[in-house]
Structure 1
Amino acid sequence: MKKILVSLVFAAVLPLSAQQKPVYLDESKPIEERVEDALPRLTLKEKIALVHAQSKFSSAGVPRLGIPEFWMTDGPHGVRPEVLWDEWDQAGWTNDSCVAFPALTCLAATWNPEMSLLYGQSIGEEARYRNKTVLLGPGVNIYRTPLNGRNFEYMGEDPYLSAHMVVPYIQGVQQNGVAACVKHFALNNHEVNRHTTNVIVDDRALYEIYLPAFKAAVQEGKAWAIMGSYNLYKGQHCCHNQYLLNDILKGEWGFDGVVISDWGGAHDTDQAITNGLDMEFGSWTNGLSNGASNAYDNYYLAMPYLQRIQEGKVGTKELDDKVRRILRLAFRTTMNTSRPWGAILSPEHYEAARRIGEEGIVLLQNEGGLLPINLDKAKKIAVIGENAIKMMTVGGGSSSLKVQREISPLDGIRQRVGNQVEVVYARGYVGDASGEYNGVVTGQNLKDDRTPDELIAEAVKVAADADYVIFIGGLNKSANQDCEDTDRAGLGLPYGQDDVIQALAKVNRNLIVVNISGNAVAMPWVKEVPAIVQDWYLGSEAGSALAAVLVGDVNPSGKLPFTFPVKLEDNAAYALGEYTGVRSDTVINIKYNESIFVGYRWADKQKKSKPLFAFGHGLSYTTFEYGKPVADAKTMSPDGKLTVKVTVKNTGSREGQEVVQLYIADKKSSLPRPLKELKGFKKIKLTPGESKEVSFVIDKEALSFFDDTKHAWIAEPGKFEAIIAASAADVKGVVPFELK
């Protein structure tokens, strides 16, 4: 009834003539003028109603003024199915399926902003069709540890890559009149104790590593919403954190959108009032549990806030700022009558999911050119592994989806080869036979009571006489794998998969291992396996995208967005001892001792060990030759720019894409700096024999570091190097220059 009332009131006020129309309804007026016209028309209770939830995923509008409700939906990989008004149980709709897009680790692995824009446009259209106001995504928390259960939702370890990939996603979503809500701000870098971890990090690391992607989202992407994180920083929960939300986000960066709490991320009325939170969702106040009904009046920004105002304990200055931001959100979204209608489950969206998946798959190893599979010479392909058949769109936490369809790797391979080649399957191992999350059920029965030895014996028998053996394993979206609110127990593959791979390697040399995960995994068998493919959670078109790469319809061009360490101790967070997987109900301090040395920045410092696979690594079915990079000058003024150029040639026999990477090295500085840092990348497509010149413009920003004593970005005069590379471990050329 409430929705009908909103529609009637809205329809009643819109037909007014231009002379009669209130300014806030006049879309020809600037948004700020409309906001200031609407604000004094609201009663105190109407303002309070705007700043907290009225259901699990909605907050109130103002029916009297024709301002619709605000509807949120989880992302960032697809539009979440509907739940009941007051509960987490499924609403039972039959028309709330979606297209599942690849996980954001895959998007980052494309190193292609055009793919990011396509992703945002496509998922934004689906959210708009479902009449959502805010899409709760994308996520850009930095990959600090490979055990973080939620890394698959983020864009890797490097702030520059994350920043440049998040901006087009936001722009694509918001073209549809749907707000992107970038999350989780900030320092949410592991899941165990996410509600009780107080992060202690120096300002250099904060500004150089953990904030750049959020800053780009605000200042370049113009994001309309930001979600706070569950953890604490400086002893305050990040959903109402003075330093993060008021000082940095709204102060230094000039953010004019809404700050939305993560569900259950608010903890205190006074801090929620003063420390930058605008919209409160999911709070379980006064001892109420997840399933409690009608708790919304007890939210921290509900009756407790209203009572404080009525009793004169607080004023309305902060409330008016929150309401201004929420009105601004309404005028940008639901009250924009020109926004598109959206679309869902369209052929174009499935094509987008497939293209992003194909371009994000990373060819890690290909000894002897085993890949692509030669279908003209193959008679039998053996596919082994649970992940070849297990649905991956269900599970993992809030990003779990209800899909119209999901093509498994096994089905994708069978559909692609048709009757040309026999494809046989063996389970190999049993991981998690369940298939349910939050009431969405896969319908798969994966129960198998055979022993590991029996499963391996079957796999070996099937694989022994095959022309190709494709082992498809890795992680899944179950608890303690790639899953919200849990972290992995270790770096190794679960469910005894190493034993299966090593057994297969002994009976067939043509072994291809496909690792499906959102995280790095240990590979003790790396020297025994000629071909290794890093697959991701690819969504609805998972199988078709993988099959296209395996048989060579698509030349792989993905590059790793994070480092694969050989062992856990090679990761900085573990080398320096600042991570705990032990559950704690009380606040615990986690100090980021590694500071700015995250990912390849740490790996570059290690002289005794090298990564299993470096950041930025990814092979192709063709080969590329780099010329000698040159600069247009040997010196650069503080206000000037320097251009570095390099020619890249496709020296192979087929078309391919290469990601040319630019790193900057500061040869001498007053503060410690990494050996090199990513400051540019370009993805180019080359036909056989074709050459292209790639140029990078270097400015003062690319040379700067954050001086925490001055609280400023500093570029010190001195000697630098522009490093052209194909990965963090594959340097192609160096150009020295000097900043005057």
Structure 2
Amino acid sequence: MSGSGKKVVVGETPVYLDTRKPLELRVKDALNRMTVEEKTRLSYADGRFSTPGCARLGIPGLMYSDGPHGVRAEICWNSWDYAGWTNDSCTAFPALTCLASTWNPSLSKAYGTAIGEEARYRHKNVLLGPGVNIYRTPLNGRNFEYMGEDPFLAARMCVPYIQGVQENGVAACVKHYALNNQEHWRNHIDVQVSDRALYEIYLPAFKAAIEEGKSWTIMGAYNKVRGTHAAHNKLLNNDILKGEWGFDGCVVTDWGAAHDTYEAAMYGLDLELGTFTNGLTSNSSLGYDSYYLGNAYLQMVKEGKVPMEVVNDKAARVLRLIFRTAMNDNGKLGAMSNDSHYETAYQIATEGIVLLKNEATFKGESLLPLSQGKYKRVLVVGDNAIRNLMQGGGSSELKPKMVITPLEALTEKLGKECVKFTQGYVAGRPMFDRADTFSQSVIDSLYTAAVNEAQKADLVIFMGGLNKNFQQDCEGDDRKTFQLPFEQDRLIKGLLKANKKVVVVLTRGNAVDMPWLKEVPSVIQSWYLGSIGGKALADVITGEVTPSGKLPFSYPAKLEDCPAHYYGEISYPGDGIRQEYKEDILVGYRWYDTKKIKPLFPFGYGLSYTQFEYGKPVVSSSQMQSGDVLEIKCTVRNVGKVAGKEVVQLYIGDEKCSVLRPLKELKDFYKVTLQPGEEKEVLFTIDEEDLKFFDDTQHKWVAESGKFKIYIGSSSKDIKGVVEFDYKN
């Protein structure tokens, strides 16, 4: 007798095995054949990165892999040790901050397709990514895995990634749902946030991932939201995700994020991927039955404390995931670390690098681009010039088949006789939960050697920033300071005293303090660029590629200007128990615009080796009613001497509203490629949805009648043209 009370007919052909049958028919058929024990067993792990199927019925389990920047090296079945395989290397793709900085959704699709192929080749059914949590503070250790401060940009960039992954029969797992905006106290901090901020800022990327990207899984975050852990939170899972958005996939835990059997059963958790026998503290070879959704869940079901419709819903979601992935006979075998994947990684890296400063201070010339033969002695300084930046960082750590460092690439392009390297500072081994320490004598020795060499060089390229060490860009805790680590500020100032021709290249996923900015002629924002990152960076430095990246988050001039820090410790990092998002909807550029605080570098900012000239924007009508669509046209001309790409950004501002609204909000963008002298027309369309705010008194999105402004610009601050229109609902 099956758990649903129906008999299984001996010899009956199982519909669930027939991939030609509709998915829901297959799910229903499998459910009808399963016992209660088999149904509940679907909901928790049987290994570090695996969950079971139903062996009796020939339904396979699922294999998971950390992402979202590459398929992680193989982990042992029941420990966190690496398995030591020799065939589990991967392509390391750029971190998602770099992808967001491309402002190019077509590259996002290529990224997802390539990483999905690698996951398929490695027989992984679920790739744990992309991450779409909002950049709230530059101290968050995990910002490098996410897509910046703006919900619209994050939404536009995550959807093609998800679609590309899932076309391979591999499930994307969008994370970390929701409000996981810091690593410090991440396991217990209780986030208090308004409905407006929740719906307008922190949920839109997740919503797009589900409704547009059709993500098959979503990962519950560690933190609490309004008193309940996010992984089994009624508001997030039952009311919004499965209720309002109609999500038909699986909610999975982050490792150890489940805390209660009844809440996990009733509040929307479908798959528990824990670390130890109770998800948190103890370990044994047969401990998986002790998970919250293990024997305790089964016992509650048998005692009638959990309704069978809940059990069947969970089991159906897991079966749906298995049929979409492990039992998806789409004929695709995947591919690993091929030329196509390396080319995709290279394109993302080159388009994501952001040129922050490039002043023409030397006889009317800028230091960049650095043409071959321009300088006889180029000194490269900095640990990040030689470091494997795929190591460390926590779950995003990768084992790339190939790593091209910046020093290797620059040496190849400029010649061994031209390039000299000195380390300048020491950063230590990549470690997740601690950091190396060094004596002041070692630090001073490296500093002195670098400054002495800088005096003899024609040009100095400093390559520093952060890395994926503990309390930097690393999972598990936040940065402790806004300053650069390892006395890099002192080193940069010393290099400038020795040589005025200094290019600063900073690798990081976060904004940092720049007390030397006025003195440095040229500054590049590099990200964690992956396997081909060194070549991509060298090609931008030398002008083989014109930089076109735009910042996905604002850089505050000082940490106190950042909205999360403006209201004191209760806003960030909290009091150890709870925190209040007091800046509400005014996150990132919304804050700087509305409060009239000047950022160091604004959202959407990025320079080029060429120049662009904007025409006056034209709107198709000065009047708009509900149901109308307005067209906005704008011309962009490349008036420089080299080809380049420009990101045209459209923002909308509500001039008068019954609630507080930002001065303007990003509503569309387009990346255009232009040859020297070439002009193109960019066309945008907007409708009523682009004018709405979330009314928490009515719990719905509302557009009020009134005057609106359309801002066309190359960043949130560099507005090239404004047009107005009146809206009537």
> Could you tell me which amino acid in structure 2 is paired with residue 667 of structure 1?
E
- Residue 384 of structure 2 is aligned to residue 387 of structure 1: yes
Which of 296, 304, 328 is the matching residue for 1:312?
A: 304
- Residue 555 of structure 2 is aligned to residue 560 of structure 1: no
Residue in 1 aligned with 2:698? Answer: 710
Q: Distance between the aligned counterparts of 1:355 and 1:467, measured in 2? A: 30
- Residue 429 of structure 2 is aligned to residue 434 of structure 1: yes
Which of 79, 86, 91 is the matching residue for 1:87?
A: 79
Q: Distance between the aligned counterparts of 1:339 and 1:557, measured in 2? A: 37
- Residue 126 of structure 2 is aligned to residue 106 of structure 1: no
Which one is further off, 667-676 or 329-338? 329-338
Percent of aligned positions with the same letter in both sequences? 57
| SS of residue matched to 1:259 | strand
Any conservation in 2 of the 1:87–1:293 contact (CA below 8 Å)? no
Q: TM-score of the superposition, structure 2-length normalised?
A: 0.95
Which of 579, 582, 585 is the matching residue for 1:590?
A: 579
- Residue 656 of structure 2 is aligned to residue 668 of structure 1: yes
Residue in 2 aligned with 1:376? Answer: 373
> Given the superposition, is the C-alpha separation of residues 605 and 287 from structure 1 closer, same or farther in structure 2, using an over 3 Å criterion?
closer
Which one is further off, 100-109 or 279-288? 279-288
Residue in 2 aligned with 1:131? Answer: 123
RMSD of aligned Cα (Å): 1.8
Unaligned runs of 5+ in 1: 1-18, 439-444
- Residue 595 of structure 2 is aligned to residue 606 of structure 1: yes
| SS of residue matched to 2:582 | coil
Residue in 1 aligned with 2:4? Answer: none
Q: Distance between the aligned counterparts of 1:314 and 1:161, measured in 2? A: 40
Any conservation in 2 of the 1:87–1:291 contact (CA below 8 Å)? no
Any conservation in 2 of the 1:578–1:592 contact (CA below 8 Å)? no
- Residue 724 of structure 2 is aligned to residue 736 of structure 1: yes
Residue in 2 aligned with 1:527? Answer: 518
> Given the superposition, is the C-alpha separation of residues 436 and 578 from structure 1 closer, same or farther in structure 2, using an over 3 Å criterion?
closer
Report how many aligned residue pairs link the two structures: 712
Q: Distance between the aligned counterparts of 2:524 and 2:22, measured in 1? A: 51
Which one is further off, 574-583 or 403-412? 574-583
- Residue 276 of structure 2 is aligned to residue 276 of structure 1: no
By how many angstroms is 1:288 displaced? Answer: 6.1
| SS of residue matched to 1:539 | coil
> Deviations 1:36-92 (Å, cap 9, x if unpaired)?
111110111111111000111101111222211111110001111111111101112
Any conservation in 1 of the 2:432–2:476 contact (CA below 8 Å)? no
> Deviations 1:264-322 (Å, cap 9, x if unpaired)?
00000000010000000115355963654321010111100111122333322111001
| SS of residue matched to 1:296 | helix
By how many angstroms is 1:339 displaced? Answer: 4.2
Matches within 5 A, 1:55-204: 55-204=47-196
Matches within 5 A, 1:287-302: 289=281, 292-302=284-294
Q: Distance between the aligned counterparts of 1:448 and 1:554, measured in 2? A: 41
Any conservation in 2 of the 1:563–1:614 contact (CA below 8 Å)? yes
Residue in 2 aligned with 1:724? Answer: 712
> Could you tell me which amino acid in structure 2 is paired with residue 606 of structure 1?
K
> Given the superposition, is the C-alpha separation of residues 202 and 731 from structure 1 closer, same or farther in structure 2, using an over 3 Å criterion?
same
Any conservation in 2 of the 1:622–1:650 contact (CA below 8 Å)? yes
Which one is further off, 24-33 or 220-229? 24-33
Any conservation in 1 of the 2:432–2:470 contact (CA below 8 Å)? no
By how many angstroms is 1:507 displaced? Answer: 2.1
| SS of residue matched to 1:372 | coil
Any conservation in 2 of the 1:147–1:519 contact (CA below 8 Å)? yes
Q: TM-score of the superposition, structure 1-length normalised?
A: 0.94
Q: Distance between the aligned counterparts of 2:538 and 2:472, measured in 1? A: 25
Q: Distance between the aligned counterparts of 1:459 and 1:703, measured in 2? A: 54
- Residue 451 of structure 2 is aligned to residue 451 of structure 1: no
By how many angstroms is 1:334 displaced? Answer: 1.1
Q: Distance between the aligned counterparts of 2:57 and 2:440, measured in 1? A: 62
Which of 363, 367, 382 is the matching residue for 2:359?
A: 367
| SS of residue matched to 2:273 | coil
| SS of residue matched to 1:491 | coil
Which of 658, 681, 692 is the matching residue for 2:646?
A: 658
Any conservation in 2 of the 1:394–1:437 contact (CA below 8 Å)? no
Any conservation in 1 of the 2:121–2:335 contact (CA below 8 Å)? yes
Q: Distance between the aligned counterparts of 1:267 and 1:325, measured in 2? A: 21
Which of 395, 398, 422 is the matching residue for 2:418?
A: 422
> Could you tell me which amino acid in structure 1 is paired with residue 325 of structure 2?
T
By how many angstroms is 1:682 displaced? Answer: 0.2
By how many angstroms is 1:235 displaced? Answer: 0.7
Any conservation in 2 of the 1:578–1:591 contact (CA below 8 Å)? no
- Residue 455 of structure 2 is aligned to residue 464 of structure 1: yes
> Given the superposition, is the C-alpha separation of residues 579 and 694 from structure 1 closer, same or farther in structure 2, using an over 3 Å criterion?
farther
> Given the superposition, is the C-alpha separation of residues 649 and 448 from structure 1 closer, same or farther in structure 2, using an over 3 Å criterion?
farther
Which one is further off, 663-672 or 455-464? 455-464
Q: Distance between the aligned counterparts of 1:227 and 1:672, measured in 2? A: 32
Any conservation in 1 of the 2:373–2:414 contact (CA below 8 Å)? no
- Residue 347 of structure 2 is aligned to residue 355 of structure 1: yes
Any conservation in 2 of the 1:573–1:579 contact (CA below 8 Å)? no
By how many angstroms is 1:365 displaced? Answer: 0.3
Q: Distance between the aligned counterparts of 1:157 and 1:703, measured in 2? A: 20
| SS of residue matched to 2:407 | helix
Residue in 2 aligned with 1:12? Answer: none
Q: Distance between the aligned counterparts of 1:430 and 1:664, measured in 2? A: 46
Which of 498, 519, 541 is the matching residue for 1:550?
A: 541
> Could you tell me which amino acid in structure 2 is paired with residue 37 of structure 1?
D
Any conservation in 2 of the 1:434–1:446 contact (CA below 8 Å)? no
Residue in 2 aligned with 1:244? Answer: 236
Any conservation in 1 of the 2:372–2:413 contact (CA below 8 Å)? no
By how many angstroms is 1:427 displaced? Answer: 1.1
> Deviations 1:410-435 (Å, cap 9, x if unpaired)?
1121122235x51001111112x214
Q: Distance between the aligned counterparts of 2:262 and 2:495, measured in 1? A: 61
Any conservation in 2 of the 1:163–1:217 contact (CA below 8 Å)? yes
> Given the superposition, is the C-alpha separation of residues 580 and 191 from structure 1 closer, same or farther in structure 2, using an over 3 Å criterion?
farther
By how many angstroms is 1:558 displaced? Answer: 0.2
By how many angstroms is 1:348 displaced? Answer: 1.4
Q: Distance between the aligned counterparts of 1:176 and 1:448, measured in 2? A: 51
Which of 660, 673, 683 is the matching residue for 1:685?
A: 673
> Given the superposition, is the C-alpha separation of residues 436 and 405 from structure 1 closer, same or farther in structure 2, using an over 3 Å criterion?
farther
Any conservation in 1 of the 2:256–2:280 contact (CA below 8 Å)? no
Any conservation in 2 of the 1:86–1:294 contact (CA below 8 Å)? no
Residue in 1 aligned with 2:405? Answer: 408
- Residue 314 of structure 2 is aligned to residue 325 of structure 1: no
Q: Distance between the aligned counterparts of 1:279 and 1:554, measured in 2? A: 45
Any conservation in 2 of the 1:627–1:646 contact (CA below 8 Å)? yes
Any conservation in 2 of the 1:148–1:488 contact (CA below 8 Å)? yes
> Given the superposition, is the C-alpha separation of residues 710 and 582 from structure 1 closer, same or farther in structure 2, using an over 3 Å criterion?
closer
Residue in 2 aligned with 1:475? Answer: 466
> Could you tell me which amino acid in structure 2 is paired with residue 423 of structure 1?
V
By how many angstroms is 1:446 displaced? Answer: 12
Any conservation in 2 of the 1:86–1:291 contact (CA below 8 Å)? no
Which of 662, 684, 696 is the matching residue for 1:696?
A: 684
Any conservation in 2 of the 1:283–1:299 contact (CA below 8 Å)? no
- Residue 333 of structure 2 is aligned to residue 341 of structure 1: yes
Any conservation in 2 of the 1:59–1:71 contact (CA below 8 Å)? yes
By how many angstroms is 1:451 displaced? Answer: 3.2
- Residue 18 of structure 2 is aligned to residue 26 of structure 1: yes
- Residue 181 of structure 2 is aligned to residue 216 of structure 1: no
By how many angstroms is 1:366 displaced? Answer: 0.3
